[in-house]
Structure 1
Amino acid sequence: MVKEMTKNNKDKYRQFSELENTIPLFSKGWWMDAVCGEDWDVILVEENDKIIAALPYYFEDHEGFKEIRKAPLTQNNGIWISYPPNQKYENRLSLEHRLMSAVIDEIEKLNINKYQQYYHYSITNHLPFFWRGYTQSTRYTYVIADTTNLDELYKNFSSSIRNKIRKAEKSVSVVEDLSIEQFYQLNKMTFERQQLTIPYSLELVSRIDEECDKRNARKIYYAIDKQKQIHSAAYFVWDEKSVYYLMAASDPAFRTSQSLSLLIYEGIKLASRLGKKFDFEGSMKKNIEEHFRQFGAKQFPYHHIQKTF
C-alpha cells in the first residue's frame, strides 16, 4: 500500500529526478526550476521510503484563481510512475489505477480552479482521470525512435525534404554554439514574421540554456552563408532517452534557402551519435505537422488532461 503522500517536497524530488533516468527531461526538477522559478511543486507517492510516482506541476494565478497549467517551453509533464521490471500487463494497469487515483486525491486537495497538463506519450492510460470527471483530448508529437542507421533514415525522408537539404547544403554551412542572446533575437524574428509577440523572455531562455549547458544537454546549430549572414538556428536539448527539437529561429529574408531543414537533419545526426530517439515535439498546426512527418518520423499520441473545478 501507499505508505506516505507528500507535497511541497521539491528538494527530495530534485535529487531523485537527477538520478532517475526514466523521468523525461521536461519533468526533471532542474528543468522545472529553470522554466517555472518558484511557481512549481510536486506530488510524491512513496512506498517503503521510495518514490514510486510523482506529478510535478507548474501553477499560476489567473484572474484571482490558482491554476495548474502547461509550463513555458515544456512539451509535457504529467505523472511519472516507477514500474517493476517484467510486470504483467494487467498488473501494470492495476498499478496505474492505484497510483493515479492517489495523485488525483492530492490534486483535489490543492484548492485550484483549473487543472491542465500534457502527459508524456509513454503514459497511455488516463482512465482514473476519466472516472473522476477529467476530460482528455489527444495531441501528437512525431518521433524517430531508432536513429541508428543514418543512411536508412535519409532514404526514408520524403523527396521534398531531401531536395531541401541538398539545396541548403549548396548555400550555407552548419556551425555550432551561437550565443543564447543571438539565438533569442533570431527567434524573435520568427514570431514577428507571423505578427506575434514572442511568448517567453530572454531571461527564461537563458536559464534553460545555463542549466542544460551545466549537464551537457543542449546544442545550438546555426546555418551561415559565405557572407557571414545567419539564415536560421535550431536549439536541441536531451535527456537519457531522447533529443528534443525545442526551438527554431530563422531570418525571414533567407527562408528560401531551406536551411532549417538542414539543421533538423543535423539534430537527427546528433541523436544518432548520442544513441537516442529524436522527438520533434510535435505540432497541431497543419503545415508544421506535414513538415515533421516528411522526415520519416512516426506519430505518437499523448494526452491533454484537464478539469475545471
Structure 2
Amino acid sequence: MTNKEQYRAFCSRRNDLPPFLCDWWMDATCDDWDVAIEKNGDNIAGVWPYAISKRIGVELLRNARLSPYQGPFVSFPADLKESNRDGFEHETISAMLKQIPSAKVWNLALQPGIRQVGMFRNAGMQVQVQQTFLIDLHPTEQELLSNMKENLRRNIRAAEKEFDIADSSEHLNKLYEYQKHTLTGKGAGQPYSLTDMQKLMDACMQHNTAALWVAKKGGEIQALVWNVWSADTSYYFMGSQKPGGDSYRAITALLWHSIKEAKQRGNKTFDLEGSMDAGVEKFFRSFGGRRELYLVLKKNHSFIWKLKELVS
C-alpha cells in the first residue's frame, strides 16, 4: 500500500483527527497532496499530510486552501507513560519531517498542542507563534455562561429574543458575499472562491462534520457561522455579518449556539481559532476561554520568493 492508501485506511478508523488533516479535507482543498507516515512496530505512530505547490517556479509548503491548522498528528500508544509522551512525540515528528520532500519556502500553521520548537529550529525553520482561545466544554451550560463577560451574557439573552437560528448550508453564497464585502473594504482580496467553499462544504456535509448556522431577523440574514468538528474538538471555522449592519449580537448568538451544539454533540473543546487582531482578540477573550499559542513554521531559501515578498 502507498502512504496515501495507508492514510485513508487510518482516517477511516479514527474520529479524533482534526478535520483539517483528514484525507477527504485534503482532497477538497488541495490540487495534489501526499502524507508522511511513521510507524511504531505495526501501528501508525504519526501522520503528516502535506501539499507542496509551485508558483513562479518556487516549491512552497503551506497550509492548504481554507485550512487554518495542518502539520503532524501523533497517535500516542494507550499504555504510554506520561513521562515518555514528549520523547515519543519528538521522535515521531522528527522521523516524519525527514520524509517530507524539500521545499524552499515554508509557511505552515500547526494545530495547538505541538510545542517541539527546538526540533523545528534545528531543521532550519523560523518558529513564530499565533494564538487562539479554547473553551473547555465539560462544565454545564450555566457554568459556561457564567465564565463569559457580563456584556456578552447580556447580548446572548437579548439575541435569543431577536434572532431565529437554523442550520442552512444553502446560504453559503451569503457567507462568501458578506466576507468579500468586508475584505474589499479593507483593501484585501478574497483568497478563495465560492467554488472552493462549496466543494469543501459538500465534503464536510458528506462526512457529517459541519453546520452553517444562520441568524435571521425579519426573514433577513444578519450573520453566518461555519462550524466544523471532530469527535473531540469543535471549531469556529469562519463567519461574517451583514455589510453595514450592526450584527455584533448576531455573531455572538451564533457562536453561543455553536458552543451549545458542540457540548450536546459530546465535543470536549471549542476552538475559537483566535486572531492577532486586537479587536477580534478582545471579543474572543470575552467568551472565557483559555489562551493557547500555536506554532507557525516559516522558511524562505528562495531568492525569487524573497523578491516577491519585498514587492508585494
TM-score by length of 2: 0.88
| Inter-CA distance 193–258: structure 2 relative to 1 (3 Å threshold) | farther
Match of 2:117 among 117, 122, 126: 126
Equivalent residue, structure 2, for 1:20: 14
What runs of 5+ residues in structure 1 fail to find an aligned partner? 1-5
Match of 1:29 among 23, 30, 37: 23
Q: 1 CA distance for matches of 2:88 and 2:263?
A: 34
Match of 2:99 among 96, 106, 110: 106
How far residue 18 of structure 1 moved from its aligned partner, in angstroms, is 2.6
Counterpart residue type for residue 291 of structure 1:
F
Contact 1:148 1:272 in 2 (8 A): no
Equivalent residue, structure 2, for 1:97: 90
Match of 2:204 among 208, 212, 216: 212
Equivalent residue, structure 1, for 2:4: 10
Equivalent residue, structure 1, for 2:263: 272
Counterpart residue type for residue 125 of structure 2:
Y
How far residue 269 of structure 1 moved from its aligned partner, in angstroms, is 0.8
Counterpart residue type for residue 67 of structure 1:
L
Q: 1 CA distance for matches of 2:105 and 2:225?
A: 34
Match of 1:143 among 134, 140, 148: 134
Q: 1 CA distance for matches of 2:118 and 2:89?
A: 9
| Inter-CA distance 194–163: structure 2 relative to 1 (3 Å threshold) | farther
Equivalent residue, structure 2, for 1:184: 176
Q: 2 CA distance for matches of 1:217 and 1:21?
A: 10
The alignment-based identity, stated in percent, is 28
Task: Name which of structure 1's ranges 14-23 and 243-252 shifts more when overlaid on structure 2.
Answer: 14-23
Determine whether 1:198 maps to 2:198: no
Contact 2:222 2:247 in 1 (8 A): no
Counterpart residue type for residue 31 of structure 2:
G
Determine whether 1:41 maps to 2:46: no
How far residue 178 of structure 1 moved from its aligned partner, in angstroms, is 4.1
| Inter-CA distance 204–149: structure 2 relative to 1 (3 Å threshold) | same
Counterpart residue type for residue 262 of structure 2:
A
Counterpart residue type for residue 225 of structure 2:
A
| Inter-CA distance 256–20: structure 2 relative to 1 (3 Å threshold) | closer
How far residue 170 of structure 1 moved from its aligned partner, in angstroms, is 3.9
**Deviation readout 1:30-64 (Å, 9 max, x if unpaired):** 111111132x2211123434322111112221321
Equivalent residue, structure 2, for 1:3: none
Equivalent residue, structure 1, for 2:309: none
Match of 2:245 among 254, 279, 291: 254
Equivalent residue, structure 2, for 1:85: 78
**Deviation readout 1:69-119 (Å, 9 max, x if unpaired):** 122221211111121224234422322232222222223xx2321223211
What runs of 5+ residues in structure 2 fail to find an aligned partner? 302-312
How far residue 12 of structure 1 moved from its aligned partner, in angstroms, is 2.1
TM-score by length of 1: 0.89
| Inter-CA distance 18–189: structure 2 relative to 1 (3 Å threshold) | farther
- The count of residues paired between Structure 1 and Structure 2 equals 299
Counterpart residue type for residue 239 of structure 2:
A
